[in-house]
Every structure is written in structure tokens, then in C-alpha cells.
């Protein structure tokens, strides 16, 4: 019996991906599965897939804000809608890929710090000065971080992740894969759990 895997394609700019982030580690642990973090650039996915942010549709945006509040209440997690939304997450996502490539032991600490700053506090992480404060509070050196996100290999890795996501049918975030099964949205985590249990029993 092999350990099941769940791939989590995410972008810090998505509040629904944040909600999935609050639950997936627990679900993976309950199912004896490995959680594979797959940073991607949501703006690139939208462009390639011909999709757009729900914020671009006022009626959908109003509904989603209410629905996300329901999910946060159900799971007992904090969700503070960011007044600076939408935020350009290119630097943030390069940071995630860079941590995976260069400082894997610090990856989760970085992810936790950015998600808290985006959707719990919330901060304008698109402002370099604000991001520097967030990083400093989390124990990161902002200067070293800037060098990391400027690394050509890091930039290329984010592009590759994003292109792979589009090639596999991803059109938004959060998107989870269990094998070839794709699940979109924080409201599909029960299906992710079921797929992981089935994979673990195979």
C-alpha cells in the first residue's frame, strides 16, 4: 500500500485557497496522506484559462463574501476580508517557490506568515514596505528574501508550476489533485478526503 498524495495548487491572493489551507494539513494527516504544496500564479492561470476573479462580477462577489464567512464559521477559523484586495501576488508566490527550492525547512513558516498577514490581520502584502515588516516579524531577512525572488531559477519554477496547472485543467484556486482526480474549491474538501481514503485503501 502506497501513501496517498494530495496536491494543493494555491495562490495567497485567493481567500478560498486560504480557507482550504486551514483544513488540508489536518485532512491529509487524518488520511495518512502527504500534502504536496504547489504554488502557482493565479493571474497567469486566469489569463490562460480565460477565467476571471469573482471580484469582477459584483453579484458573485457579494455572494462569495457571505459564503466564505459561512465556511470560516463552520471551521472555526479567522477570515478577515482584505481591504486591499485584489493584491498582486507575484512576489509572494515567487517567495513560496523560492522557499521550496532554497529553504524547504522554512517553507511552512513562510506560508503561515503570509496567509495570516493576508487573511487574518489583514495587510497589504503587495506593498514592499509592509511585506518587509511581515517577513521580519516571522524571522525572515527582507534583503535575503528580495534576492531569493529575483533568482532566475525561482522565477522559472513559478512559471513552470503555473503552466503545469493550466495543462492539467486548473482554472482557479484552490485546486486539489488526488491522482488524476481534480477538485476545485474549499467546498470540495469532503471529496478530497474520500479520494484520499480510497487511495490509501487501494
The helix or strand, by DSSP H or E, that contains position 61, with its residue range, turns out to be helix 58-75
Contact, 172 vs 6, CB < 8 A? no
Angle at 100 between CA 96 and CA 106, to 5 degrees: 85
Tell me the per-residue pLDDT of 80-126, one tens digit each, with 9 for 90 and over.
999 999 999 999 999 999 999 999 999 999 999 999 999 999 999 99
Q: Pairing mode, if any, of strands 5-10 and 175-178?
A: antiparallel
Cell of 6: 494530495
pLDDT value, residue 193: 98
Is a pLDDT exceeding 80 seen at residue 202? Answer: no
Tell me the per-residue pLDDT of 147-199, one tens digit each, with 9 for 90 and over.
999 999 999 999 999 999 999 999 999 999 999 999 999 999 999 999 999 99
Cell of 161: 508550476
What is the residue range of 98's domain? 5-201
3-state class (DSSP) for residue 3: coil
**DSSP H helices in 84-188:** 90-102, 107-119, 128-137, 142-149, 152-167
Q: How confident is the model at residue 55 (pLDDT cuts 50, 70, 90)?
A: confident
Instruction: Name the residue among 36, 39, 40 with its Cα closest to residue 7.
Output: 36
Domain count, the chain: 1
Is a pLDDT exceeding 70 seen at residue 1? Answer: no
Residues in the chain: 202
For residue 184, give the CATH number of its domain: 3.40.30.10
Output the CA–CA distances (angstroms, integers) from residue 82 to 113, 116, 117, 166, in the order listed.
15, 11, 9, 27
Instruction: Name the residue among 1, 2, 7, 29 with its Cα closest to residue 174.
Output: 7
CA distance 92 to 118: 11
3-state class (DSSP) for residue 124: coil
Contact, 9 vs 170, CB < 8 A? yes
CA distance 196 to 107: 24
Amino acid at each position: 500500500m502506497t501513501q496517498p498524495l494530495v496536491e494543493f495548487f494555491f495562490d495567497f491572493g485567493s481567500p478560498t485557497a486560504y480557507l482550504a489551507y486551514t483544513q488540508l494539513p489536518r485532512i491529509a494527516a487524518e488520511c495518512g496522506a502527504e500534502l504536496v504544496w504547489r504554488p502557482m500564479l493565479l493571474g497567469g492561470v486566469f489569463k490562460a484559462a480565460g477565467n476571471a476573479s469573482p471580484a469582477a462580477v459584483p453579484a458573485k462577489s457579494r455572494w462569495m463574501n457571505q459564503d466564505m464567512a459561512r465556511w470560516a464559521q463552520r471551521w472555526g477559523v479567522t477570515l478577515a476580508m482584505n481591504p486591499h484586495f485584489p493584491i498582486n501576488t507575484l512576489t509572494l508566490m515567487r517567495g513560496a517557490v523560492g522557499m521550496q527550492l532554497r529553504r524547504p525547512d522554512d517553507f511552512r513558516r513562510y506560508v503561515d506568515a503570509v496567509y495570516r498577514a493576508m487573511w487574518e490581520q489583514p495587510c497589504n502584502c503587495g506593498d514592499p514596505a509592509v511585506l518587509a515588516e511581515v517577513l521580519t516579524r516571522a524571522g525572515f531577512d527582507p534583503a535575503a528574501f528580495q534576492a531569493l525572488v529575483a533568482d532566475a531559477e525561482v522565477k522559472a519554477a513559478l512559471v513552470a508550476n503555473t503552466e503545469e496547472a493550466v495543462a492539467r485543467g486548473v482554472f482557479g484556486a484552490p485546486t486539489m489533485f488526488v491522482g488524476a482526480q481534480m477538485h476545485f474549491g474549499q467546498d470540495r474538501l469532503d471529496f478530497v478526503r474520500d479520494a484520499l481514503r480510497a487511495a490509501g485503501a487501494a
